[in-house]
Structure 1
């Protein structure tokens, strides 16, 4: 069984997907973390920057090896050369780098292959921006999670503040608008609502409401 949860940046899909997986006692795959891992390794190992990372070769890409692990206690982690690099994968620089490489067809193919290999033997909840359209179009249950821009911006500001990064509401909105535009208009795997997906607008919903809505849909189908 595969459950996909797609949505724009800061729609809450990773938090929701993780908790749904925990309650259903199945595997959780954060596909965004896979792209971030690739971007981080290229940045640290090969010194790629925002100006150069789009020129990464397929040979360099396929020389990258890392391990994705998940359990309900430790959550998801990325290990590179046995070192847990997960804490380094969520900052503005890696955001930008992963967004750039995600537009490259051979990078998406590479990450898709990794994702499919990870869930091959596991009932899984998978979140991303194309989990239900490109990665797992055959998924039995598909959800699309969204929220109003202001709500998403406020969530992002709070998340960044926990890392000592301070942004105004206007700055946060502009960053998310740019991301949404890039994600929805890219030629390869644009952000769209998957066919037959159940759309959830969490603007006026609690986290618990969203989780129970998804679980109820899965268990009642």
Structure 2
């Protein structure tokens, strides 16, 4: 399959963009990249004492598979290194090359439609209220054995939102031509169906692969 079709899915933490992106990629038979994992992997290296830019430049595929990448500490470290222009520049080429691979690609993150792939054929901005996102993240952490309180998770969500939206380099915001999908009152299945409907419209209704 030689199709080059890029789907850019952005949004804040715990809005559902990761689950939606994986399902969308499976539906169309496209490759998927969770770009947040790149920054989490860099953040994990920084927590071990490596300089941020060096961590980004030496990133390897196996670094994206480490089990600790989903921890709250790594998430906060990822958000801190993501504001650094040198880190973002180091990861830019990898993401753009992935996006234009033959066979189609789905990338999710915070600046895919605005900075990484402004030419993407389909762009979604997946969001939800901070309260709903905090409850979702708290449930995820509880299932993983973490003991953070809902109040602390909510505070972390707001802190990360402020940092991601307020950074000078590639702030979190919808692309001008992105379709916003608010999942606050949606089941995951409904959100996936809505995303596919939006993307089908951009593909001319060609449907799945």
Is the pair's TM-score, using the shorter chain for normalization, greater than 0.5? Answer: yes
1:62, CA displacement in angstroms?
6.0
- Which of the numbers 173, 180, 201 marks the counterpart of 2:161? 180
Q: Is the aligned partner of 1:16 residue 2:51?
A: no
Q: CA deviation at 1:57?
A: 6.4
What 5-or-longer segments of structure 1 have no aligned partner? 49-55, 68-78
- Structure with the higher strand share, 1 or 2: 1
For residue 108 of structure 1, what is the aligned residue in structure 2? 88
Figure out how many residues of one structure are paired with residues of the other and give that number.
Answer: 197
User: Once the 2 structures are TM-superposed, how far is the Cα of residue 64 of structure 1 from its aligned partner?
Assistant: 0.7
Q: Does residue 200 in structure 1 map to residue 181 in structure 2?
A: yes
My pick for the range that moved more, 150-159 or 167-176, is 167-176
Q: Is the 8 A contact 2:6 2:106 kept in 1?
A: yes
8 Å Cα contact 1:147-1:201 kept in structure 2? yes
Distance 1:160 1:121, change over 3 A: same
Question: How much has 1:180 moved relative to structure 2?
Answer: 0.5
Alpha-carbon spacing, 1:199–1:62, altered in 2? closer, same or farther (3 Å): closer
Matched, 1:167 2:161: no
- Distance apart, 1:163 and its partner CA: 2.0
- CA-based RMSD of the aligned residues comes to 1.6
After TM superposition, where is structure 1 displaced by more than 3 Å over at least 4 residues in a row?
Answer: none
CA distance in 2, matches of 1:91, 1:113: 27
- In 2: Cα distance, 1:57 partner to 1:170 partner: 30
Shift of 1:168: 2.4
Trace 1:10-159 onto structure 2 (pairs within 5 A).
Answer: 10-44=14-48, 47-48=49-50, 56=51, 58=53, 60-61=54-55, 63-67=57-61, 79-80=62-63, 85-122=65-102, 123-159=104-140
* Structure 1 residues 166 and 197: CA distance shift in structure 2, 3 A: same
Q: Normalized per residue, which structure has more helix?
A: 2
